């Protein structure tokens, strides 16, 4: 198998509250022959704080990272949707020669889908999922370049490739409000509860996400009998039969082990 | 041209075309179809919905919009911008309003979100990367209160989701210069 190396921007959350997303991303891409090389000296993209307060900082904080990436290659992969969006805006505004990709873009390329099918050890066929993309992976299309922004398909394709039962769902890109989680939990609770409720109504046994902020926001506001919220990379690791995943599940507020065991995934 | 808002909050006089004039935002193209507000996840919590904010800016009544605390509830989800049939960057207009309100010292009736954004940028400047515990501490000091879901925060610490170690600094000298250049602009 050919190994391709690509620059990796984990972002602050993957070094803090979402270390299981970082670990599962590295494990899965490693197993697929994609060597994620963490960008040395990366700093925060500024997230929603910068563009809400300061037009100059908005682009400058993200552009600094693109400049670091330019010395390393043509692509920069970000697993956090908020980072991805800020970097993507900076790519456009600064006319950078680096193309910013979300981790899901790498997973859903036809080449990686092929590798996933070849390396499949444990099909997720017993697992009913809904794919939650959130806002900034897809919107606005002028920034993300996506044509299917109202009904995105890339995560659906990746989950289908490893055998999961992907339920049709009309809430894929509705906002969960994560950016306001600290300051206005009253508003956020209403948004995230509705998403969980609608996922249940769609018949899902779990929600699959591609963002540390979405995952944390949906996972932390339920009771212990809630609906598990997983990273797509965690499920891919199961499908590829990767070892050393136990500590990931312990970091979830809603324990995903019963659902995964029942579906024959663990 | 300047607009002076009538009534008790008329102390600051602002150029009316500041948000209107930002390239690419195009609020004057709004024909009030309300599609932005129909798709907005927080429109019900705002005293002025997105289409009303855009109409105020287009009419040169920006100051009215600046004082609307609903601008701080915008989650920047970009649904409004994406769905506008006339290409108005509605989320961009709301960003510009937040930036103007913060820069001109307009105090929102509910200052929690502004305190959070300031705390976030303080943390970026201090450490180069954001550390959850330091961010929560900075937010609590700026807002004069603990986060609303503090018990959830405690459970996340127990789970190890909020690390307690001392944050390391990354490229802080460079970032300090970057922040200072931004301030000078």
In this prediction the pTM is 0.94
Q: Which residue in chain A is spatially nearest to B167 when comparing CA positions?
A: A16
Closest CA to A132 of A222, A207, A223, A36: A207
Q: Is residue A131 located within the same domain as residue A23?
A: no
Q: Please tell me if residue A139 touches chain B, with a CB cutoff of 8 Å.
A: yes
User: Whole-angstrom Cα distance, residue B64 to residue B62?
Assistant: 5
Q: Which tokens in the block code for residue B2?
A: 């300047």
Q: Which residues of A touch B162 (CB under 8 A)?
A: 16-17
CA distances from A119 to A29, A154, A158, A218, B32 (A): 12, 19, 13, 30, 53
Domain tally, chain A:
2
* Strand, helix or coil for residue A131: strand
What sign for the dihedral angle of Cα A216, A218, A220, A224? negative
Q: Which residue in chain B is spatially nearest to A56 when comparing CA positions?
A: B182
CATH code (residue A96): 1.20.1050.140
> B14-15 and B2-3: which strand pairing?
antiparallel
pLDDT score of A223: 80
CATH annotation of B2-103: 1.10.1060.10
Best probe of the B interface among A11, A18, A46, A57, by most B CBs < 10 A, is A57
Q: Is residue A82 located within the same domain as residue A134?
A: no
The answer to whether residues A230 and A212 touch, using CB atoms and an 8 Å cutoff, is: no
Phi, psi of A208 (to 5 degrees): -105, 135
Q: Which tokens in the block code for residue B163?
A: 């690390």
Q: Is residue A143 located within the same domain as residue A234?
A: yes
User: Whole-angstrom Cα distance, residue B101 to residue A189?
Assistant: 27
Within a domain: residue A235? yes
DSSP bridge pairs for A7: A37, A76
The secondary structure of A79-113 as a DSSP string is SSHHHHHHHHHHHHHTT-SPEEEEHHHHHTSHHHH
- In chain B, CATH 1.10.1060.10 covers 2-103
Q: Do A139 and B115 touch (CB under 8 A)?
A: no
Q: Is residue A15 located within the same domain as residue A41?
A: yes
A contact residues 199-218, partner B, Cβ 8 Å cutoff: 216
Q: Which residues of B touch A136 (CB under 8 A)?
A: 76-78
Q: Do A54 and B175 touch (CB under 8 A)?
A: no
Q: Do A139 and B77 touch (CB under 8 A)?
A: yes
Closest CA to A204 of A130, A262, A132: A130
* Strand, helix or coil for residue A7: strand
Q: Do A44 and B98 touch (CB under 8 A)?
A: no
CATH code (residue A241): 3.40.50.11810
Mean pLDDT over each residue of chain A, to the nearest integer: 96
Within a domain: residue A117? no
pLDDT score of B23: 66
User: Whole-angstrom Cα distance, residue A215 to residue A218?
Assistant: 5
pLDDT score of B110: 93
Q: Is residue A84 located within the same domain as residue A128?
A: no
User: Whole-angstrom Cα distance, residue B167 to residue B142?
Assistant: 19
Q: Sheet harboring A229-231: ordered strands across?
A: A165-166, A128-132, A206-209, A229-231
User: Whole-angstrom Cα distance, residue B41 to residue A175?
Assistant: 7
CA distances from B90 to A238, B36, B114 (A): 41, 7, 19
Q: Which residue in chain B is spatially nearest to A179 when comparing CA positions?
A: B75
A168-225 tens-digit pLDDT: 999 999 999 999 999 999 999 999 999 999 999 999 999 999 999 999 999 999 986 7
Q: Do B149 and A185 touch (CB under 8 A)?
A: yes
A60-86 tens-digit pLDDT: 999 999 999 999 999 999 999 999 999
Q: For A208-241, give the secondary structure using H, E and C.
A: EECCHHHHHHHHHCCCCCCCCEEEHHHHHHHHCC
Residues written for chain A:
266
Q: Is the pLDDT of residue A1 over 70?
A: no
Angle, vertex CA A185, rays to CA A180 and CA A186, nearest 5: 120
A contact residues 54-113, partner B, Cβ 8 Å cutoff: 54-57, 60-61, 64
Q: Is residue A129 located within the same domain as residue A244?
A: yes
User: Whole-angstrom Cα distance, residue A96 to residue A74?
Assistant: 10
The secondary structure of B7-46 as a DSSP string is STTTT--EETHHHHTSTTT-GGG-----HHHHH-TTGGG-
pLDDT score of B13: 36
Q: Is residue A85 located within the same domain as residue A135?
A: no
Q: What is the CA radius of gyration of chain B?
A: 19
Note the ipTM here.
0.96
Residue range(s) defining the domain that contains residue A83: 4-106
A88-133 tens-digit pLDDT: 999 999 999 999 999 999 999 999 999 999 999 999 999 999 999 9
Q: Which residues of B touch A178 (CB under 8 A)?
A: 75
pLDDT in tens, chain B (185 residues): 333 333 333 333 334 445 666 667 889 899 999 999 999 999 999 999 999 999 999 999 999 999 999 999 999 999 999 999 999 999 999 999 999 999 999 999 899 999 999 999 999 999 999 999 999 999 999 999 999 888 999 999 999 999 998 999 999 999 999 999 998 76
Closest CA to B19 of B57, B46, B47, B45: B57
């Amino acid at each position: 198998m050919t190994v391709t190396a690509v620059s990796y921007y984990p972002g602050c959350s993957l070094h803090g509250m979402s270390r299981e997303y970082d670990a599962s991303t590295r494990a899965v891409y490693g197993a697929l022959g994609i060597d994620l090389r963490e960008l040395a000296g990366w700093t925060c993209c500024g997230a929603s704080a910068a563009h809400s307060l300061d037009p100059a900082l908005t682009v400058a904080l993200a552009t600094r990272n693109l400049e670091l990436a330019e010395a390393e290659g043509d692509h920069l992969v970000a697993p956090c949707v908020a980072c991805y969006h800020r970097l993507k805006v900076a790519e456009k505004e600064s006319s950078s020669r680096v193309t910013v990709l979300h981790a899901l873009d790498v997973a859903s390329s036809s080449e990686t889908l092929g590798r996933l099918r070849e390396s499949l050890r444990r099909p997720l066929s017993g697992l009913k999922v809904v794919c939650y993309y959130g806002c900034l992976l897809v919107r606005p299309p002028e920034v993300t370049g996506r044509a299917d922004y109202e009904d995105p398909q890339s995560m659906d394709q990746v989950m289908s490739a490893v055998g999961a039962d992907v339920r049709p769902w009309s809430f894929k890109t509705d906002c969960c409000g994560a950016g306001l989680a600290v300051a206005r939990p009253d508003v956020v609770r209403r948004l995230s509860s509705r998403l969980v409720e609608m996922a249940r109504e769609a018949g899902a046994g779990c929600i699959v996400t591609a963002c540390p902020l979405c995952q944390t926001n949906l996972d932390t506001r339920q009771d212990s009998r809630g609906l598990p919220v997983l990273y797509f990379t965690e499920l891919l690791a199961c499908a590829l039969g990767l070892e050393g995943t136990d500590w990931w599940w312990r970091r979830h507020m809603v324990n995903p082990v019963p659902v995964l065991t029942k579906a024959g995934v663990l | 041209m300047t607009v002076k808002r009538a009534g008790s909050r008329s102390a600051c006089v602002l150029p009316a075309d500041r948000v209107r004039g930002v390239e690419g935002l195009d609020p004057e193209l709004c024909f009030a179809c309300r599609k932005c507000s129909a798709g907005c996840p927080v429109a019900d919590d705002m005293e002025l919905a997105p289409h009303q904010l855009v109409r105020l800016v287009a009419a040169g009544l920006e100051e009215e919009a600046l004082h609307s605390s609903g601008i701080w509830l915008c989650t920047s989800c970009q649904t409004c911008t994406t769905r506008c049939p006339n290409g108005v960057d509605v989320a961009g207009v709301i960003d510009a309003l937040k930036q103007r309100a913060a820069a001109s010292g307009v105090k929102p009736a509910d200052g929690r979100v502004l305190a959070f954004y300031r705390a976030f940028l303080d943390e970026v400047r201090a450490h180069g990367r954001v550390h959850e515990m330091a961010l929560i501490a900075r937010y609590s000091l700026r807002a004069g209160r603990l986060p609303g879901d503090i018990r959830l925060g405690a459970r996340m610490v127990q789970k190890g989701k909020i690390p307690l170690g001392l944050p390391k600094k990354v490229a802080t000298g460079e970032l300090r210069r970057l922040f200072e250049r931004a301030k000078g602009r």
